[in-house]
Every structure is written in structure tokens, then in C-alpha cells.
């Protein structure tokens, strides 16, 4: 990340928690650029929401934020359009080989994805199991099915294999979630 004077900053690497998900995030970012440049889909990551407390104006044209705080996002990180359809998702990385702890997803994110589904959109999570480097697509319907049928607080990887879709590693786009949507929501038509 570069600030406006071009100095490289890496504030995220300071904080281990904030650093989680950066690789998957970078892969999705690269994929979204691929989709955009190849006119396949238009998907963007939303900016990180912050609350601004202090702003200075050292010059007429420039504002410098001097005090701000990270806010809890009310929605997911990504949304966009594919073949006219609204798509909406969040990306999560976990250090487990065997299961995805549901505490990684905020309740307001699930609520948001349910609303998207209800309104006819495609809502899902992209989840990467870091130690085995496997990335899955799991729809909100299937997440809710799991929550309804299980008392477990984490979703085992078997459930991803059965009810989710493995997103096979590629060079470009790196995380080809659109191919999953195309196959399972549009019958694989080009």
C-alpha cells in the first residue's frame, strides 16, 4: 500500500489479526481485475469502513486524516455483477486442516447474505484452509443448512467437499469463483 506521497506503508503487517486473509484477499483482488479487464464480471472489494474523528487541511486541496478508527463492516467485503445477477461474498482464511470455525463469520454478515439470497442474489463465502491450501465456495443456503442441522460450532471440511465447491488453483484468475457460479447457477453456459 502506498500513501499519496509514494512512501510504501505496511500497516497491516503490524497486526497479526489484520494480516489474516491477506493472501486470499490478494488472490481475489487479482481475480477481480482479471474479470474486469476481460469483461467477465464487475466485482469490487468495498473500502474498509472507518470513523473519522480528526481531519487537518494543510493545504486547500489536501485533507489529512489525523485520527480515525476502524468500524465493524455492516455487510460483506465484496459485491458486484455477473451476467446481470447480483453477487455478494466474503473471504475467510483459516489455519485449520479439518474445519472452519463459524465464529469467523459475524452474525451481521450471515444476516446480510441471507437478505441477498432472499432478494434473488448469489450470496456465499470463499474459505481457504491455509495448511492444505484448499479454497472452497460455500453458499449461504448451505451454511444455513449446516447451522440448522448441526450443533457443532465449526463446519468440517467434509461438508465443504459435499455441499460446497472446490475452487481449483489457477494461474489467472487465481481464485476463479466465477467459473463456479457459471457452472452451478447458470448451467455452465458461456
- Interacting residues with a second copy (CB under 8 A): 1-4, 7, 9, 11, 14-15, 18, 36, 39, 41-42, 44, 46-55, 57, 62-71, 73-75, 79-86, 88, 112, 115-116, 118-121
Q: Which is nearer to a second copy, 81 or 168 (CB)?
A: 81
Smallest distance from the beta carbon of 41 to a second copy, in angstroms? 7
CB atoms within 10 A of CB 181: 21
User: Least Å distance between CB 166 and a second copy?
Assistant: 26
H helix or E strand, kind and range, residue 85 = strand 85-94
Between 46 and 152, CB nearer to a second copy: 46
Cell numbers 486541496 correspond to 61
Q: Single out the residue of 71, 116, 70, 118 nearest to residue 90, CA to CA.
A: 116
Min separation Cβ 67 and a second copy, Å = 7
Give, in order, the Cα–Cα distances in Å from 165 to each of 23, 82, 136. 20, 18, 5
Minimum gap (Å) between residue 151 Cβ and a second copy: 29
CA 141 to chain centre: 17
Amino acid at each position: 500500500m502506498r500513501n499519496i506521497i509514494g512512501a510504501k506503508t505496511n500497516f497491516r503487517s503490524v497486526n497479526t489479526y489484520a494480516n489474516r486473509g491477506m493472501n486470499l484477499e490478494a488472490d481475489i483482488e487479482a481475480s477481480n481485475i482479471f474479470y474486469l479487464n476481460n469483461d467477465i464480471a464487475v466485482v469490487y472489494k468495498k473500502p474498509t469502513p472507518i470513523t473519522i474523528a480528526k481531519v487537518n487541511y494543510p493545504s486547500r486541496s489536501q485533507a489529512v486524516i489525523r485520527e480515525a478508527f476502524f468500524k465493524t463492516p455492516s455487510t460483506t467485503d465484496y459485491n458486484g455483477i455477473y451476467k446481470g445477477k447480483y453477487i455478494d461474498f466474503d473471504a475467510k482464511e483459516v489455519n485449520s486442516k479439518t474445519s472452519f470455525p463459524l465464529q469467523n463469520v459475524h452474525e451481521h454478515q450471515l444476516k446480510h447474505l441471507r437478505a441477498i439470497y432472499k432478494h434473488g442474489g448469489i450470496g456465499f463465502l470463499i474459505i481457504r484452509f491455509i495448511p492444505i491450501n484448499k479454497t472452497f465456495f460455500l453458499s449461504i443456503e448451505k451454511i444455513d443448512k449446516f447451522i440448522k442441522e448441526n450443533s457443532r460450532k465449526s463446519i468440517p471440511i467434509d461438508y465443504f467437499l459435499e455441499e460446497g465447491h472446490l475452487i481449483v488453483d489457477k494461474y489467472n484468475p487465481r481464485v476463479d469463483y466465477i467459473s463456479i457460479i457459471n457452472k452451478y447457477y447458470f448451467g455452465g453456459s458461456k
